[in-house]
Structure 1
Amino acid sequence: MKKIYWSWPVLGMLLAPVSRAQAQAPQLRPITGVVTAAVDRSPLPGVTVLVKGTTNGATTDSEGRYSLQAAPGSTLSFSFIGFTTQERAIGDDSTIDIILKENTTALNDVVITGYNIAQDRRDLVTAVQEVKAKDIIDSRQTNVVNALQGKVAGVNITSSGGAPGEGSAIVIRGGTSLDGDNQPLFVIDGMIMDNSSFQESTAPGGGSQFNGLLGRSVGTPNRAGDLNPEDIASITVLKGASAAALYGLRAANGAIVITTKKGTAGRTTLNYRTQVSVDEVNRLPKLQHEYQQGSGGVFDATTRNSWGPRFGAGQAQYDNLGNFFDKGYTYQNFLNMSGGSEKATFFVSASRLDQSGVTPENKYDKTTVRLSGNAQLSTKFNVTGSAQYLNSGGRRTLQGPGLLTTAGSSSGGFLLSLLNWPRNDDARNYLNADGTRRRLLPPNNGIDADADNPYWSAIYNPQTDRTNRFLGNTQLSFKVLPFLTLSHNIGTDISNTHSTSVRAVGTSQASNQNGGIAETVDLNRLITATTLASMEHTFSPALRGSLILGNTIEQSRDEAVDYTGLIFQNPTFISINNTVNRNALQRISTRRLVGNFARLSVSVLEQVTLELQGRYDKSSTLPRPDEGKVFGKGFGYGSVAAGYEFTRTLGLDQSNILNYGKIRASVAEVGRDTGPYRVLSPLTSNTYIGGGFRNDFFGSNPILKPERTRSYEAGINLQFLKNRLGLDVNYYFSRTKDQLIAPRVSQATGFILQYINGGVVTNEGQEITLNGTPVRTASGFTWDVLANFYHNTNRTESLPSPLTVVFQSDAFITAVHQGGAFLGRPITGIGAYDFQRVTDRNSADFGKLLINPTTGYPIPGNTFMYAGNRAPRFTTQLTNTFTYKALSLSALLDFRVGGKVVNGNDLYATNVGTGIRTADRYKQVVFDGVTANTDGTYTPNARPVELTQGYYQTILAAVGTPFIEDASWSRLRYLTLSYSLPASLLERTHVLKGLELSVTGRNLVLLTNYSGADPETAAAGSGVRGGGSNGFDYGNVPATRGVDMGLRVTF
């Protein structure tokens, strides 16, 4: 641990000069003025006004006005992004008005790309898109990943559900791996950070019966959700392999590069923001309200199902599903302070989030503290550092199958339990007079067939987790020569998560009638060190170039211990030390990666840009050429990209119509290594009789290779009307070969699965981004617009023989649905059972249902088949921001066309008799299909049958295709209205520099033909590999809509 905290003295050193910034000032006098734009004389808010050579400064308000104290003879500097900086000497005037001209060559200056390298936007030759701090804050999302929804073309984000702290999955330009993680690499201030989600398959005891906190039983966060949104200055999305090629083995899925806020020279500024939110469930599954508890049309108190008689007139009914969900409240407070001098700056922040969910006892909280600073120790030596502590966790809601019942049925999750609860019983009455759990069903032959009441379980079976996390990095840079800078960045990401699952005495599960507890402690450590040599030189007005040479070392260690204890000796003392039978499992995983990389960029005549990138990696998870070596065989990757700014050649760069145009193209190849311990199989602790060790499920494979992704990209960027309007169009194609998958092997080998290389996945798509300011008037009215369009075609081109599909075990959501990659289909495919149909393509009846001639009902099939794609055909987002002086209105519209969603809730409710479909029971129908004749011909079905309980349970619910629906939608993601107090009022306080009031509505409108709650969901959470679990709606907390009210004050 000493290595981790050595940077604290450095931080103290770099922050110390700030205290010396307050020099004795000469005679000062007030200076005021207004800053406007040259193009239309509209006021410019947010312009930095600084007395040159001092920390004294101000920022213009919404009306472009500023006020500060300055000495005669001083010089004022006026700077604003996208405009040319101006300086003005202070004479005898007390009023200095400035007109700033737009910098038509700036194009928003620089963008942060790989390894925290700042790159001129004009030099970009790959697809990169940036999201600014204001856009992140306007979304009012507590999870930073969700704040990117609708902001970037080619990015698909899926939230797991509506519970507080739920994780979200992000995929850029489609998944490239059949079994690997398809989410992008996350980088913060040049340091790689963890964005994983806890998943059942990676837990030490994963898959065991006692899995209250594992995988799909509770929603778990993605680790990027730990970050404080107010700390973020910008997020740059590096799309695909070409843009992120410098990251080598980690670059196949692109990268999310986060730049945090830093202190700025000038007066110390204090910002405070508070926000209160109210949420409610947006939509709930539809249920039938006509039939009560029972079976075969007769009331039966020994079953929970609702196949009983109709409700009688005046008979009490209870809306158990609707009653369970309540209002959820969120309280957020953010505080930050920044300042400094031209030699040293600092930024310190703190935040607190307290959130109660829409289900009983569901809570989540998050606390963050961050300190960063920068010190220019000399003209050549600079030190930058940051450290942040994050604490998050809460009490989760049981989802999906939840806690398994005696028979292993999936009725323990709260939503599924409510879907099964008969309307003739009030689930809110969960306690007997003596305080014990009230039973819904009586004992059945000595085996408890009852299931826990969700209210009782929420209180007495808590599922909790708590994460403590530290993120820190220090960067030293030294300017050796005017053209050469050396830098070294060392960072660490350490997190410790403690999860607990309790089953109180009296739970319905027979094996745990006397209670039990499971605890998981997961310690993750990631240390990265990067050394860069950056060279940049202008050889002549016609030629300039830059060269970056670098080395990076990544080392990670994941240590998890799973403790279980059964039978509480004292029913009221919840502790593993209070249990009779105890067990423990441990898993340790380590990984080391060393990479050397280079990037050469050449610009000719400021018109043609050529960029070459190369990287050579060695990973500890790949086969080793010599025994005893730490690393496996090295692998090289690289990219070539070029751009041509044709508007300069044509002399259009000063045109009032098309002032910037650039075409670009690139080809890149990157890779992905395998996980630890796949080359050589480890031993696993044996918890059965006799103890000792046994072989792991996965067999060894000493000839594994990394997956390789080759990507091709072409695009054009156009800027019109002096950068008032921008258009960016991209086409890409990627091919990923040598897929790492784990098919079953003969058990004679002593193993069940073995990782091999085989299979090819391709992605082909288009992205269009339109942005600009169509209207800007001298009266202070502006209209800003951002539109994104995205289309992607994903395809599994080949699989190792004899495989025709690769299923993902964590996406085995229902008994008749599973996520999988079928040959010739997308990796986000849906596997499902269908009814038997006519398969003779030469028959006029091809595709029609086969009807059982004896019963008159359709015949269920028994083969898993491809039944749809969960990914959309295309998506479009439109953000409009209208500003009039101090008033601003911003709205994000999100449109999705195509794709499928599995309505697992409808399937479950249909089986138990509460689903809306079952309201048609006893109805006479004639199924549209044919019966097969002995001569190979078919006869149209004409036999009427009754929709009985048997039909719904053994025929309809035995297949999956009827429960697959269209996932298209149109939704209003958010609508934000804000008002900033005019400077004339703020000046009277002599304290306040800014005050903003805001109100935001989230998910206020959802238009969709989906019959369930919300088609944007992921039943097994955000950590599922391969095609993920998005598009499966089964037992999750439904998505919510809400209203936020906020206040921001600047001192």
Structure 2
Amino acid sequence: MKNFYKRSMLIIMFLLAMALLVMLAMGQAKAATPSTPTLLYQQEISGTVTTLGGEPLLGVTVRVATKNYGTTTNLEGNYSIRANPGDMLVFSFIGFKTQEIRVSNQSMLNISLEEDVDALEEVTINAGYYNTTRRESTGNISRVTAEEIENQPVVSPIQALQGRMAGVEVTPGGNLPGQAATIRIRGRNSLRDEGNFPLYIIDGVPINSTPIESFSNLGNVGIDPLNTLNLSNIESIEVLKDADATAIYGSRGANGVVLITTKKGRQGKTEIQARIYKGISTVPNRLELLKTEDYLQIRRRALENDGVEADEANAYDLVVWDQNRYTDWQEEFFGGSSQVTDINLNASGGNENTTYSLSGSYHKQGTIFLGDFDYNKVAAGLQLNHTSNNKKLNFNLSVNYGVDSNNLVGYLDLSSFAFYLPPNAPSLFNDDQSINWNDWAEVGLDNPLAGFYNSSKTQSNNLISNLVITYQLLKGLEFKTNFGYTYFNSNEIVKRPRRSYNPATWDRIQHRSNHLITDRKSWITEPQLIYSSKIGKGTIDGLVGVTIQESTQNGLSLYGEGYVSESLIGSLSAAENIDSQTNQQSEYKYAALFARLGFNWDKKYYINLTGRRDGSSRFGPGNRFANFGAVGGAWIFSEETFIRDHVSFLSFGKLRGSYGTTGSDQIANYGFLDAYEPTLGAGGLYPTLLANPDYSWEVNKKIEAAVELGFIEDRINIGLSWYRNRSSNQLVGYPLPEITGFTNVQANLPATVQNTGWEIELSTFNFQSPKFSWQTSLNLSFPKNELVRYPNLEQSSYANIYRVGHPLNIALLYNYEGLDPETGFYSVEDVNGDGNLNFEDRTIIRNSGREFFGGLNNNLNYKNFSLQFLWEIVKQNGRLALFNAGELRNQRTDVIRALDENSGYQQISASSQAIIAYDNVLNSTFSRTDASFIRLKTISLAYSLPNTFLNSLGLNSGKLFLNGQNLFTITPYEGIDPEAPNLGTSFPSLKTISFGIQLNF
């Protein structure tokens, strides 16, 4: 931990030094000017900038035309600037028409800016290789802004997208900080889980989106590669979904593209922003489990029904353990609170030629589990932009660096026991806080905390850098190139001391450690020519470019045992035995030629053509290259005279559509070659991979049609999209018979996966006045996933997983027939009548995915107060467990009804026959239930500090804020969290409340 903080401070100090040098250089350049602002501008002018309704505007740029000098308005719309009579003052603000006013001899100048509807539509959207606007876009691009991101106390920016975008489904990977969330953009396209990751691009640089492998409790889903980013430094996140938006990325955009843009410097004096918050996280819900009295009553009835007498072997909970003891095991295991602290500093400023932004942050988060575990992150970012005096040459440097350290228990699930332990089970600890082994060993059990003193530490370093150089060759013609470099290193050690385990077994246990080192390096260069020109009423713009990328990945896994003492665990030189479990090195090379041609006529008719030829080293020589492309078009019919003159309530109307192909090469490297690994200690080689040089790219064909409408001067906006994506030529591991010596070989299967759906987006300005405003936005997605084709599925290894004509995410279930009248136990249908229950009898197919999902967001502002809250909406099915009354483990309180013969639950019993019946019914229609929910996902209340108070402190602006996450859920689901509706005992989301302050200097 000492090295972690030392390295973190060095990073921040280094970037601060760079920013200081930039500011000094700018200051020197400014000093070299023939005259200074103080001498040049003799007259001070002040005033207030408001809307036509009288509402003050914060952040309006006020500058002297043709002079390198300006300021911005504060919270109350006030400004002050020095100027000479005859100078032109320019007032500009996004969403309002720019005003120019000539200075006379006045000292006070108040103005009102007129709202510009067209300007509101011209918010720039990052489309990857080019920028567009929502009005002119021919593709489907969703956007989340900085304010929506930073209001959420999460670690990864992907988690901040939940409920905010149509067609974008985000599910948390778990409740531990650092676990990778799963993001699916318009469904699952590949039969392979690893073939469904989208493309992540940060400031123009692609990064590997595959989660990092881990031996710790993060290992079930892996570590998110975006964890080390500073959320407060993100300007926006755009998600590209349809063919028109993604085809320019070719094979990399098959599953959608996530573009993350960090904040840039702004022209003006240096501004420093400090943002600090602290919070607390807890489990939002608990299962209602049996307390001791009811539990023991049911257990006694079970033995009575079974005709068995209680003894120490079959009923130690009744014979040995204290009958009056009660422990709330949920409180014991995960009843703690996770403390959250986040500190962020940002400095930005610049002049007409050079702007900069420098950020640094620290994030610390604990866990809700028993024990002392935490997550720490330090991140720093630098954006430097310089333009030459003649405006022809531009440099933009982007650097993001983060270090995080995740300290968790290793090899121990601290939640599962909380639901199953009998309520009168003995204490986990002795009075001296040592682990209680004896009371558990008395009945032949191990203490559930076996492994508690294991520890894991995962430290990651992540560098993402990019330099973009742009030069104007001719009017309308630019040369642009970017050089990107990324480096990710993860170093994990899991320590497993003997004292974590029962002393009775120490003669067979040694001090052990596991080590996992992962390195990912990548560089990319993309030279481009960009052209733009006007032709009559039309505008043509295009680009052509080349991508050259190379990535390497190294993975080393080591195991050490036989350490002399616990203090030496982890120092491999002190281990008696060292075993190299895996040592993998791989290289990936990618090259592409891409082009785009866009044309619009009279700002009414738009067409966009994109194409890309990709080459990947993951395929054999004969299949290395493939072509992808798309066409998109849009018609803004509201600009037609016959619409504009006769449909007054329609302020905006656009039809758009697209069709194209993307591909996928998301497979392991070298799959087309025979592969060998050295035998341990024998000096030989053995084959590990069978060659197949004939497989080729997966192909994803996408089609979309959409309409966008605005009513009553765009106070109501509606978007409706329909899409169909078909992914064919599926790349999977084709199963082989055991006689070959291999389990599978990489191949293309003639399977086709289809995703179709509707997406609805609605935004309304419900009320707007100088003191109060209210805006609402709604998004809903109705996805449908289907395995359209899979020849000979019944003979494949996927026969018990998929069904043609149904989604990939299905549950194959038994048909529940009710209680057996002879035994009183659960009964499911034996379809083929062979007396055995297996997958041939699971004839009921249920969709385990979401039928629809979305979010309802509201923004309200009243004077200095603002309130934002988001409801997440999900329609789905789930599964329940813990309803087997009589078994020697706790159950939900609902099973108390089993004391009544007409309860619907099986006879109270602890027999093996009852347990088998229960295991079968868990995989039947009986256990399926509605797991839909409406959740208050985020809520944020902010208060902007009064201007008089800020002026007294020398501050430009400031606010206090109170944020909440996952505070309230409405659901019929009886499990602990409908977001993980598997067995009702998972809780990926925590309830968090945080309070903070933001100050601008």
Could you tell me the TM-score, scaled by structure 1's length? 0.84
Relative contact order (C-alpha < 8 Å, sep 6+): which is higher?
Answer: 1
Measure the CA separation in 1 of the matches of 2:901 and 2:826: 10
Measure the CA separation in 1 of the matches of 2:441 and 2:819: 42
Q: Does 1:244 align with 2:225?
A: no
The answer on whether the counterparts of 2:521 and 2:552 sit within 8 Å (CA) in structure 1 is yes
Which residue of structure 1 aligns with residue 964 of structure 2?
Answer: 1001
Match of 1:858 among 811, 821, 827: 827
Cα–Cα, structure 1 residues 910 and 166, in superposed 2: closer, same or farther, change >3 Å?
Answer: farther
Which residue of structure 2 aligns with residue 538 of structure 1?
Answer: 534
Which residue of structure 2 aligns with residue 724 of structure 1?
Answer: 715
The answer on whether the counterparts of 1:277 and 1:1044 sit within 8 Å (CA) in structure 2 is yes
Counterpart of 2:367, as a letter, is G
Match of 1:196 among 210, 233, 241: 210
For residues 68-107 of structure 1, what are the alpha-carbon distances to aligned partners after superposition, in whole Å with 9 as ceiling and x for unaligned? 4445544332222222222223322222222222333234
Counterpart of 1:555, as a letter, is E
Measure the CA separation in 2 of the matches of 1:656 and 1:757: 55
Q: Does 1:254 align with 2:256?
A: yes
Which residue of structure 2 aligns with residue 571 of structure 1?
Answer: 566
For residues 1003-1038 of structure 1, what are the alpha-carbon distances to aligned partners after superposition, in whole Å with 9 as ceiling and x for unaligned? 111111222211213xxxxxxxxxxxxx54587555
Which residue of structure 2 aligns with residue 848 of structure 1?
Answer: 817
% identical equivalent positions: 25
Which residue of structure 1 aligns with residue 485 of structure 2?
Answer: 492
Alpha-carbon offset, residue 221 of structure 1: 3.3
For residues 202-227 of structure 1, what are the alpha-carbon distances to aligned partners after superposition, in whole Å with 9 as ceiling and x for unaligned? xxxxxxxxx556732xx643122321
Unpaired runs of 5+ in structure 1? 1-6, 201-210, 404-411, 626-631, 809-817, 838-846, 930-943, 1018-1030
Measure the CA separation in 2 of the matches of 1:470 and 1:827: 36
Match of 2:408 among 396, 404, 422: 396
Measure the CA separation in 1 of the matches of 2:661 and 2:886: 49
Cα–Cα, structure 1 residues 907 and 176, in superposed 2: closer, same or farther, change >3 Å?
Answer: farther
Which residue of structure 2 aligns with residue 814 of structure 1?
Answer: none
Alpha-carbon offset, residue 451 of structure 1: 3.7
Measure the CA separation in 2 of the matches of 1:51 and 1:767: 46
Measure the CA separation in 2 of the matches of 1:824 and 1:111: 41
Measure the CA separation in 2 of the matches of 1:784 and 1:547: 36
Give secondary structure in 2 for the equivalent of 1:520: strand
Alpha-carbon offset, residue 146 of structure 1: 1.7
Could you tell me the TM-score, scaled by structure 2's length? 0.88
Q: Does 1:338 align with 2:338?
A: no
Cα–Cα, structure 1 residues 556 and 984, in superposed 2: closer, same or farther, change >3 Å?
Answer: same
Match of 2:102 among 65, 89, 110: 89
Match of 2:660 among 643, 668, 671: 668
For the aligned residue pairs, the C-alpha RMSD in angstroms reads 3.2
Alpha-carbon offset, residue 42 of structure 1: 2.9
Cα–Cα, structure 1 residues 261 and 911, in superposed 2: closer, same or farther, change >3 Å?
Answer: farther
Which residue of structure 2 aligns with residue 592 of structure 1?
Answer: 589
Cα–Cα, structure 1 residues 907 and 501, in superposed 2: closer, same or farther, change >3 Å?
Answer: farther
Cα–Cα, structure 1 residues 353 and 427, in superposed 2: closer, same or farther, change >3 Å?
Answer: farther
Which residue of structure 2 aligns with residue 42 of structure 1?
Answer: 55
Which residue of structure 2 aligns with residue 421 of structure 1?
Answer: 421
Measure the CA separation in 1 of the matches of 2:66 and 2:624: 54
Counterpart of 1:344, as a letter, is T
Alpha-carbon offset, residue 857 of structure 1: 5.1
Alignment map for 1:828-843 (pairs within 5 Å): 828-831=809-812, 834=814, 837=815
Give secondary structure in 1 for the equivalent of 2:534: strand
Counterpart of 1:381, as a letter, is L
Alpha-carbon offset, residue 535 of structure 1: 0.3
Unpaired runs of 5+ in structure 2? 1-13, 829-835
Counterpart of 1:363, as a letter, is D
Cα–Cα, structure 1 residues 945 and 492, in superposed 2: closer, same or farther, change >3 Å?
Answer: same
Which residue of structure 2 aligns with residue 181 of structure 1?
Answer: 195
Cα–Cα, structure 1 residues 867 and 680, in superposed 2: closer, same or farther, change >3 Å?
Answer: same
Match of 2:357 among 330, 343, 347: 347
Match of 2:769 among 762, 770, 777: 777
Match of 2:624 among 629, 633, 642: 633
Counterpart of 2:422, as a letter, is P
Alignment map for 1:460-539 (pairs within 5 Å): 460-508=453-501, 513-539=509-535
Which residue of structure 2 aligns with residue 438 of structure 1?
Answer: 437
Cα–Cα, structure 1 residues 806 and 347, in superposed 2: closer, same or farther, change >3 Å?
Answer: farther
Alpha-carbon offset, residue 867 of structure 1: 4.5
Measure the CA separation in 2 of the matches of 1:355 and 1:503: 24
Measure the CA separation in 2 of the matches of 1:568 and 1:302: 38
Alpha-carbon offset, residue 952 of structure 1: 4.4
Which residue of structure 1 aligns with residue 690 of structure 2?
Answer: 699
Measure the CA separation in 2 of the matches of 1:318 and 1:927: 27
More off after superposition, 288-297 vs 128-137: 288-297
More off after superposition, 12-21 vs 998-1007: 12-21
Q: Does 1:900 align with 2:880?
A: no
Alignment map for 1:648-1047 (pairs within 5 Å): 648-650=639-641, 657-673=649-665, 674-687=667-680, 690=682, 692-696=684-688, 698-758=689-749, 759-778=751-770, 780-803=771-794, 820-831=801-812, 834=814, 837=815, 848-849=817-818, 851=820, 858=827, 861-863=837-839, 865=842, 867-897=845-875, 899-903=876-880, 906=882, 913-916=889-892, 919-920=895-896, 923=899, 925=901, 946-958=908-920, 959-961=922-924, 962-989=926-953, 991-1017=954-980, 1031-1032=981-982, 1036=986, 1038-1047=988-997
Alignment map for 1:8-47 (pairs within 5 Å): 17-20=25-28, 22-23=30-31, 24-25=36-37, 26=39, 27-38=41-52, 40-47=53-60
Which residue of structure 2 aligns with residue 940 of structure 1?
Answer: none
Alpha-carbon offset, residue 472 of structure 1: 0.7
For residues 48-85 of structure 1, what are the alpha-carbon distances to aligned partners after superposition, in whole Å with 9 as ceiling and x for unaligned? 22344555433333433333444554433222222222
Alpha-carbon offset, residue 646 of structure 1: 0.7
More off after superposition, 175-184 vs 466-475: 175-184
The answer on whether the counterparts of 1:178 and 1:821 sit within 8 Å (CA) in structure 2 is no
Measure the CA separation in 2 of the matches of 1:223 and 1:862: 40
Give secondary structure in 1 for the equivalent of 2:332: helix
The answer on whether the counterparts of 1:55 and 1:267 sit within 8 Å (CA) in structure 2 is no
Give secondary structure in 1 for the equivalent of 2:179: coil
Give secondary structure in 1 for the equivalent of 2:735: coil
Measure the CA separation in 2 of the matches of 1:47 and 1:1033: 54
Cα–Cα, structure 1 residues 771 and 922, in superposed 2: closer, same or farther, change >3 Å?
Answer: closer
Cα–Cα, structure 1 residues 1035 and 925, in superposed 2: closer, same or farther, change >3 Å?
Answer: closer
For residues 305-350 of structure 1, what are the alpha-carbon distances to aligned partners after superposition, in whole Å with 9 as ceiling and x for unaligned? 986479987x121112212321111010000000000000000000
The answer on whether the counterparts of 1:112 and 1:257 sit within 8 Å (CA) in structure 2 is no
Measure the CA separation in 1 of the matches of 2:374 and 2:125: 36
Q: Does 1:231 align with 2:227?
A: no
Cα–Cα, structure 1 residues 318 and 22, in superposed 2: closer, same or farther, change >3 Å?
Answer: same
For residues 779-820 of structure 1, what are the alpha-carbon distances to aligned partners after superposition, in whole Å with 9 as ceiling and x for unaligned? x21111111111100001122424478769xxxxxxxxx9x4
The answer on whether the counterparts of 1:189 and 1:258 sit within 8 Å (CA) in structure 2 is yes
Cα–Cα, structure 1 residues 339 and 302, in superposed 2: closer, same or farther, change >3 Å?
Answer: farther
Cα–Cα, structure 1 residues 436 and 923, in superposed 2: closer, same or farther, change >3 Å?
Answer: closer
Which residue of structure 2 aligns with residue 618 of structure 1?
Answer: 615
Measure the CA separation in 2 of the matches of 1:497 and 1:276: 28
Give secondary structure in 1 for the equivalent of 2:850: coil
For residues 920-962 of structure 1, what are the alpha-carbon distances to aligned partners after superposition, in whole Å with 9 as ceiling and x for unaligned? 4974747989xxxxxxxxxxxxxx9554443542220244234
Measure the CA separation in 1 of the matches of 2:75 and 2:808: 49
For residues 487-509 of structure 1, what are the alpha-carbon distances to aligned partners after superposition, in whole Å with 9 as ceiling and x for unaligned? 11111121110112222204448
The answer on whether the counterparts of 1:283 and 1:1039 sit within 8 Å (CA) in structure 2 is no
Cα–Cα, structure 1 residues 988 and 480, in superposed 2: closer, same or farther, change >3 Å?
Answer: same
Measure the CA separation in 1 of the matches of 2:803 and 2:223: 29
Alpha-carbon offset, residue 1039 of structure 1: 2.6
Give secondary structure in 2 for the equivalent of 1:32: strand
The answer on whether the counterparts of 1:805 and 1:823 sit within 8 Å (CA) in structure 2 is no
Cα–Cα, structure 1 residues 381 and 1033, in superposed 2: closer, same or farther, change >3 Å?
Answer: farther
More off after superposition, 24-33 vs 598-607: 24-33
